[in-house]
Amino acid sequence: MKNNPLVEKGHDKGQERVIIYCFFALGLVILELLLLDSQWKSDALFHTILESIAAVLAILVGTVALIRFYSRPSNIFLFLGGGFLGTAFLDAYHAVVTSSWIYSYLPSIPATLIPWSWIASRLFLAIMLFVGFLAYLKEKKQGEEGLINPGAVYLWTTLFTLMCFVVFAFVPLPQAYWPEWHFFHRPQELLASLFFLLALIGYLREGQWRTSVFHHWLILSLIVNLVGQTVFMPHSHELFDAQFDMAHVLKKVSYICVLVGLLINMLFLYRQADLSTRLQHEIQERIRAEEKVTIANKQLIAIFEGVDDVIYVADPQSYELLYVNPTFKKIWGEQPLGNKCYKSLQNRDSPCPFCTNDKIFGEFLNQSYIWEFQNEVNAQWYRCVDKAIKWSDERMVRFEVASNITEQKLAEQERVHYRENLERDVKRRTRELNLRTQELEQANKDLEGFSYSVSHDLRAPLRAIYGFVSILKEEYEEKLDQEGHRLLQIIVDNTHKMGRLIDDILSFSRASRLTLQYVDIDMNALVKEVWEDLEAERNATEYQLNCSNLPDIKGDKNALRQVWQNLLANAIKFSKGRTPAIIEVSAEFNEQEICYRVKDNGVGFNQEYSDKLFILFQRLHSMDEFEGTGVGLALIKRFVQKHGGKVEAQGVLNKGATFSFILPK
Amino acid sequence: MNMEEGQMDILLVEDNPNDAELTIRVLKKNRLANHIEWVKDGEVALDFLLGRKAYQERDISLHPKVVLLDLRLPKVDGIEVLKTIRATKALKDMPVVILTSSKEDKDLVAAYDLGVNSYVRKPIAFDEFSKTISELGLYWLVINNKPD
């Protein structure tokens, strides 16, 4: 049987309830039998009180029923509500009307008024209960569509009660008591009984009373109503006797039964509502949690789908692919999951020999194992990060993220290639350089040997010429005439010259081969030293040396001494005869270099020929004018260049010359 | 000056006959030395000093007062001669003056390392040459003292 939402669920208590019903019915009958000979008699006041209580109870029941109805619409409660409210009015009316103060105003006598007003109330309730049962069936069959419009019920209730009031107010009522009938002295009561019976039969057959507490109490109430209405009331002889009063009391009992049933039903309803609310909350929470999970899921999926790297998960024992990301599919095709990883990725028929599963499940457990390899299917290079991870079903699986590094790999290979080529080139060049160096060293050595030869071998014949010419001059002086002397003198002079030339060449060659030994040089002291050494040359003229404060510098002392020697010797030589002969030595410097100058006021030179000055053996004067071999300036240039510096010369004919050399700091 | 029989004044080791002639001429002119032995190469110089081969008969205890040694010599060069002299017990104190055209520093250094007494460069100009030789002769033959 479908879950009937109209009533609270319960266990099948049918068997025990049947017993209760029988017990009740029987009990009530026995009660009547016991009261058969009772001499009880009450009065109108008692009756009024009873019926007032009844009215109040009926209002209560009706209200509760309607509250129940509006909690969750259902026909049965509507009819109960309407029925009991109507009954309340009729009971009230019945109570009032039996009061001694009122009935005097009414056209009927109490003996008729009381029973008929009683009947009105009972009949109304019985009809309502019966119709209520029919409406219950309708709703059961049709569901929500079977709901009766409350307005109709209220209208019927109001009309009936009003009609009763009107009738009782203006119509004299017929007889209500037939004492001649054997048992049923008030047969009109049986009409109400009929409807009670019909309703009772209906509900009993319907069967909900087995599981629903409300229905159970409703049936109890109906039994009480039926018995009361069938057995007690019709049997009452007169007003206020035992049966009469008991019927009234049973009426209230029946009301109370309905009330109990309603209250229990409402209790269940509240419980259900409460449960339902809680369930709703739980469901909402679940939904929210699910949404969160869904969002998180979506995000994760978005990330995994968005990544360019290849990501896959495979079972380490069966090698089946458990998850592949879209990049994987793009490269190796739409593989249904479950394929072997070695088949999909490497197109092999058995596990790859280089599989890293041993590592990630062994020594590298809980770490990432990073390696590079070239895929056999698409020939791309990948940097793989492998790790053993826990899958959703708690087993440890193989997880790999592979980044395509083909470009970098190729670039790397190119670089290696390039570097190898470079190294080869460098090796070759080095070899060549070494060879050249060897050649140069050899040449240098040869040169050294050469100059050594020059030292010795060129000198010796020169010395011989010199010596023997002198001896000739000495021994055969008288035998020679003037011409003879002159000729001899020419020989001697040329010999001198040759000697000086040899010396100069030697100096120059040594200057070229010189390895500079850098020391801190006090230039002032050096210039002074050189000037004093040149004293012999300075004998002919008064020389004035103006030497300003020269900055120190790092350089080869011997080389720079020779530089100063040559410069000052030149200055002296070329300003011979000047009065006064002024030689100025000065220096300028900036952050990178120092420029030393020697200025004289001698014969100077034509600036046009300045570029010839520093060339070996080049002279701007003939031997008659000034002696010299033309080596001095070339020597200076060579020395200065060796220091990484340069030379300069400015001259004005007959005014003087300035020679400068610039050395880096 | 005493002219003792068998006196040995100067051993001149010089391969260039011109230089040798000039040197001897100057020395003789200044009457600085009576006996000048001239040899033309290093080997003969050592033969002389050590009494070998051609000089077997010589009394080698008769040392020259000074050896004028050129550096560039055939067969055994000047440095070698010097080395041998200094290594020979009998000769190690003998004054040796290197007389050479070489201006090379390495020759100078090597000579002094081996304990040469003096290192003189032969000037080209004859007047200078004369002066130098005569001063040398004067110094080593007259002024300087040496043990017997």
- The reply to whether A482 and A619 lie within a common domain is no
CA distance A442 to chain B (A): 19
Interface touch A456/B127, C-beta < 8 Å: no
- The reply to whether A84 and A229 lie within a common domain is yes
- The reply to whether A552 and A640 lie within a common domain is yes
ipTM of predicted assembly, 2 dp: 0.75
Higher pLDDT, A204 or A101: A204
- Segment among A175-179, A493-497, A529-533, B48-52 with least mean pLDDT: A175-179
Mean pLDDT score of chain B, rounded to an integer? Answer: 86
pLDDT tens track for A9-27: 567 778 888 888 888 888 8
Pick from A461, A484, A513: which residue ends a domain?
A513
- The reply to whether A522 and A504 lie within a common domain is no
Residue A529 lies in a domain: yes
- The reply to whether A24 and A86 lie within a common domain is yes
Residue A121 lies in a domain: yes
pLDDT at position A375 over 80: yes
pLDDT at position B1 over 50: no
- The reply to whether A479 and A584 lie within a common domain is no
CA distance A508 to chain B (A): 14
pLDDT score of B79: 92
Give the integer Cα–Cα distance in Å for A636 and A633. 5
- The reply to whether A230 and A339 lie within a common domain is no
Q: What phi, psi does A295 have (nearest 5°)?
A: -65, -45
8 Å CB contact between A232 and A247: yes
- The reply to whether A488 and A555 lie within a common domain is no
Pick the residue of A456, A458, A489 with the most B CBs within 10 A to test the interface with B by mutation. A456
Nearest CA in chain B to A458: B101
pLDDT tens track for B25-83: 998 888 887 889 999 988 999 999 988 888 888 888 888 889 999 988 888 889 999 99
CA distance A463 to chain B (A): 5
Interface touch B72/A456, C-beta < 8 Å: yes
Q: Is A583 helix (H, G, I), strand (E, B) or coil?
A: strand
Q: Which residues of A touch B122 (CB under 8 A)?
A: 459, 463
Interface touch B124/A495, C-beta < 8 Å: yes
- The reply to whether A507 and A545 lie within a common domain is no
- Which CATH number is A333's domain given? 3.30.450.20
Interface touch A468/B18, C-beta < 8 Å: yes
Q: Is the dihedral of CA A452, A458, A461, A464 positive or negative?
A: negative
Residue A25 lies in a domain: yes
pLDDT tens track for A259-282: 999 999 888 888 888 888 899 999
Range of the domain at A76: 17-32+42-278
Residue A582 lies in a domain: yes
CA distance B5 to chain A (A): 31
pLDDT tens track for A596-606: 999 999 888 88
Residue B125 lies in a domain: yes
Give the number of other CB atoms < 10 A from CB of residue A257. 22
pLDDT at position A493 over 80: yes
pLDDT score of A100: 66
- The reply to whether A163 and A174 lie within a common domain is yes
Pick from A480, A513, A546: which residue ends a domain?
A513
- The reply to whether A524 and A505 lie within a common domain is no
Split into its structural domains, chain A has a count of 4
Residue A106 lies in a domain: yes
pLDDT score of B3: 38
Give the integer Cα–Cα distance in Å for A282 and A203. 38
Q: Which residues of A touch B72 (CB under 8 A)?
A: 456
pLDDT score of B68: 93
Split into its structural domains, chain B has a count of 1
8 Å CB contact between A598 and A658: yes
Q: Which residues of A touch B121 (CB under 8 A)?
A: none
The per-residue b/e assignment along A9-18, b for 16 or more CB within 10 angstroms, e otherwise, is eeeeeeeebe
pLDDT tens track for A54-68: 899 999 999 999 999
pLDDT score of B98: 93
pLDDT score of A176: 67
pLDDT score of A285: 93
For chain B, give the longest Cα–Cα distance: 40
Nearest CA in chain B to A466: B126
Interface touch B125/A499, C-beta < 8 Å: yes
- Which CATH number is B50's domain given? 3.40.50.2300
Nearest CA in chain B to A467: B126
Residue A541 lies in a domain: yes
pLDDT tens track for A542-598: 888 888 899 999 999 989 999 999 999 989 888 887 888 889 999 999 999 999 999
Report, as an integer, the average pLDDT of A522-539: 88
pLDDT at position A429 over 80: yes
Residue A1 lies in a domain: no
CB pairs under 8 A between A and B: 57
Residue B132 lies in a domain: yes
Range of the domain at B73: 10-143
Interface touch B101/A464, C-beta < 8 Å: no
Q: Which residues of A touch B124 (CB under 8 A)?
A: 459, 462-463, 466, 495, 499
CA distance A447 to chain B (A): 13
pLDDT tens track for A448-489: 777 767 766 787 888 888 889 888 888 888 888 888 888 888
pLDDT at position B4 over 50: no
Residue A69 lies in a domain: yes
Mean pLDDT score of chain A, rounded to an integer? Answer: 85
CA distance A595 to chain B (A): 32
Interface touch A499/B124, C-beta < 8 Å: yes
Interface touch B126/A455, C-beta < 8 Å: no
- The reply to whether A273 and A389 lie within a common domain is no
